[in-house]
Amino acid sequence: MAEAMIEFQSVTKQYQGGQPAVDGLSMSIDKGSITVFVGPSGCGKTTSLRMINRMVEPTSGTITVAGKDVSNEPAAQLRRSMGYVMQSSGLMPHRSVLDNIATVPRLNGVSRAAARKRAEELLDVVGLASTLGKRYPSQLSGGQQQRVGVARALAADPPVLLMDEPFSAVDPVVRDELQQELLRLQRELAKTIVFVTHDIDEATVLGDKVAVFAVGGKLAQYAAPEEILRAPANDFVASFVGRDRGFRHLSFNAADAVRIHPVKTVEAPELAAGNSEWAVVVDAGSRPLGWASPRDGAGLIPGGSLFRRGDSLRRALDAALSSPAGMGVVVDEHGRLVGVLKADEVLALIEETRHKREDAT
Amino acid sequence: MEWFLANSGTVFQRAGEHLVLALIPMVLGLLISVPLGQLARRNRTLRTVVTTASSLLYTIPSLALFIILPPILGTRILDPLNVVVALTIYAVALLVRAAMDAFDSVDDDLRMAAVSMGFKPAARFLQIDLPLSLPVLFAGLRVVSVSNISLVSVAALLGVGNLGILFTDGLQRTFVTEVVVGIIAILLLALVMDTVLVLLEKLLTPWTRAGAATARQDSQAAKFIADAEVHAEAAR
- A145 located within any domain: yes
Q: Which of B127, B129, B207 to mutate to test the interface with A (most CBs of A within 10 A)?
A: B207
Which residues of chain A fall short of a pLDDT of 70?
1, 269-274, 296-298, 361
CB of B212 within 8 Å of any CB in chain A?
A: yes
B208: left (phi over 0), alpha (psi -120 to 50) or beta: alpha
| Confidence tier at B215 by pLDDT (50, 70, 90) | very low
DSSP helix/strand/coil, B154: helix
- A9 located within any domain: yes
How many domains, chain A? Answer: 2
pLDDT of residue A263: 86
| Confidence tier at B64 by pLDDT (50, 70, 90) | confident
Same domain, A247 and A270: no
pLDDT of residue B159: 76
- Residue (of B137, B67, B128, B76) closest to B102 by Cα position: B137
Q: Over pLDDT 90: what percentage of chain B?
A: 39
Same domain, A46 and A124: yes
Cα Rg, chain B, nearest whole Å: 20
Tell if the CB–CB gap between B115 and A136 is shorter than 8 Å. no
Tell if the CB–CB gap between A136 and B205 is shorter than 8 Å. no
Question: What CA–CA distance (Å, rounded) separates B67 from B53?
Answer: 20
DSSP helix/strand/coil, A300: strand
Same domain, A63 and A137: yes
**Side-chain half-sphere exposure of A353, counting CA atoms within 13 A:** 20
User: Phi then psi for A31, rounded to 5 degrees?
Assistant: -70, 140
- Residue (of A77, A81, A346, A326) closest to A191 by Cα position: A81
Out of A211, A226, A252, a domain closes at: A252
Question: What CA–CA distance (Å, rounded) separates B165 from B157?
Answer: 8
DSSP symbol at B174: T
- With beta carbons less than 8 A apart as the criterion, state whether A15 and A21 touch: yes
- Residue (of B131, B107, B108, B96) closest to B227 by Cα position: B96
| B123: CB partners within 8 A, 6+ apart | A107
Q: Which domain, by its residues, includes A98?
A: 4-252
Q: How far is the alpha carbon of A137 from chain B, nearest alpha carbon, in Å?
A: 9
> Rounded to a whole number, what is the distance in angstroms from the first to the last CA of chain B?
30
Q: How far is CA A165 from the centre of its chain?
A: 11
CA distances from B133 to A136, A162, B45, B52, B193 (A): 17, 29, 22, 22, 20
Please determine, for residue B219, whether its predicted confidence score (pLDDT) is greater than 90: no
Question: What CA–CA distance (Å, rounded) separates A55 from B105?
Answer: 22
Q: How many CB atoms lie within 10 A of CB B80?
A: 17
CATH of the domain at A346: 3.10.580.10
- A304 located within any domain: yes
Q: Tens digit of pLDDT for each residue in B134-171?
A: 999 999 999 999 999 988 888 888 777 788 888 888 88
Question: What CA–CA distance (Å, rounded) separates A97 from A130?
Answer: 10
Residue in A closest to B205 by C-alpha: A94
Question: What CA–CA distance (Å, rounded) separates A190 from A136?
Answer: 30
Same domain, A237 and A103: yes
Please determine, for residue B218, whether its predicted confidence score (pLDDT) is greater than 60: no
- Residue (of A44, A52, A37, A38) closest to A5 by Cα position: A52
Interface of A with B in 87-146 (CB under 8 A): 87-88, 90-95, 103-104, 107, 135-139
DSSP helix/strand/coil, A111: coil
pLDDT of residue B211: 61
Same domain, A235 and A303: no
Same domain, A238 and A109: yes
- A132 located within any domain: yes
Question: What CA–CA distance (Å, rounded) separates B143 from B149?
Answer: 10
- A226 located within any domain: yes
Residue in A closest to B130 by C-alpha: A94
Instruction: Count how many pairs of residues, chain A against chain B, have C-beta atoms within 8 Å.
Output: 71
User: Phi then psi for A263, rounded to 5 degrees?
Assistant: -145, 150
Question: What CA–CA distance (Å, rounded) separates A9 from B94?
Answer: 52
CATH of the domain at A106: 3.40.50.300
Same domain, A203 and A78: yes
Please determine, for residue B217, whether its predicted confidence score (pLDDT) is greater than 70: no
- Residue (of B212, B12, B223) closest to A136 by Cα position: B212
- A361 located within any domain: no
Which residue type, as a one-letter code, is found at position A62? Answer: T
- A58 located within any domain: yes
Same domain, A104 and A55: yes
Q: How far is the alpha carbon of A160 from chain B, nearest alpha carbon, in Å?
A: 13
Same domain, A233 and A325: no
C-alpha dihedral sign at A177, A179, A180, A182:
positive
| Torsion from C-alpha of B214, B218, B219, B225, nearest 10 degrees | 160
Please determine, for residue B235, whether its predicted confidence score (pLDDT) is greater than 60: no
The residues that bridge with A218 in the sheet, in sequence order, are A214
Burial class (CB in 10 A: 0-12, 13-18, 19+), B12: exposed
- With beta carbons less than 8 A apart as the criterion, state whether A266 and A281 touch: yes
Tell if the CB–CB gap between A104 and B118 is shorter than 8 Å. yes
pLDDT of residue B153: 87
| Confidence tier at B82 by pLDDT (50, 70, 90) | confident
CB of A57 within 8 Å of any CB in chain B?
A: no
pLDDT of residue A19: 82
Same domain, A149 and A63: yes
C-alpha dihedral sign at A292, A294, A297, A301:
negative
- With beta carbons less than 8 A apart as the criterion, state whether A346 and A317 touch: yes
DSSP helix/strand/coil, A129: coil
Tell if the CB–CB gap between B118 and A95 is shorter than 8 Å. no
| Confidence tier at B191 by pLDDT (50, 70, 90) | very high
pLDDT of residue B221: 59
Question: What CA–CA distance (Å, rounded) separates A99 from A135?
Answer: 10
Out of A185, A219, A252, a domain closes at: A252
| Confidence tier at B230 by pLDDT (50, 70, 90) | low
Q: Exposure pattern of A54-77 as b/e (b: 16+ CB <10 Å)?
A: bbbebeebebbbeeeebeeeebbe
- A358 located within any domain: no
User: Phi then psi for A214, rounded to 5 degrees?
Assistant: -105, 160
Q: Tens digit of pLDDT for each residue in B86-100?
A: 899 999 999 999 999
Burial class (CB in 10 A: 0-12, 13-18, 19+), B75: middle
Same domain, A194 and A279: no
The minimal CB distance from A79 to the residues B117, B132, B205 is found for: B117
Q: How far is CA B158 from the centre of its chain?
A: 22
Q: Tens digit of pLDDT for each residue in B7-49?
A: 888 888 888 888 988 999 999 999 999 999 999 988 889 999 9
DSSP helix/strand/coil, A194: strand
Q: Exposure pattern of A207-230 as b/e (b: 16+ CB <10 Å)?
A: bebbbbbbeebbbbbbbebebbbb
Q: How far is the alpha carbon of A76 from chain B, nearest alpha carbon, in Å?
A: 4
| A335: CB partners within 8 A, 6+ apart | A287, A306
Tell if the CB–CB gap between B117 and A107 is shorter than 8 Å. yes
Same domain, A287 and A169: no
Out of A209, A224, A252, a domain closes at: A252
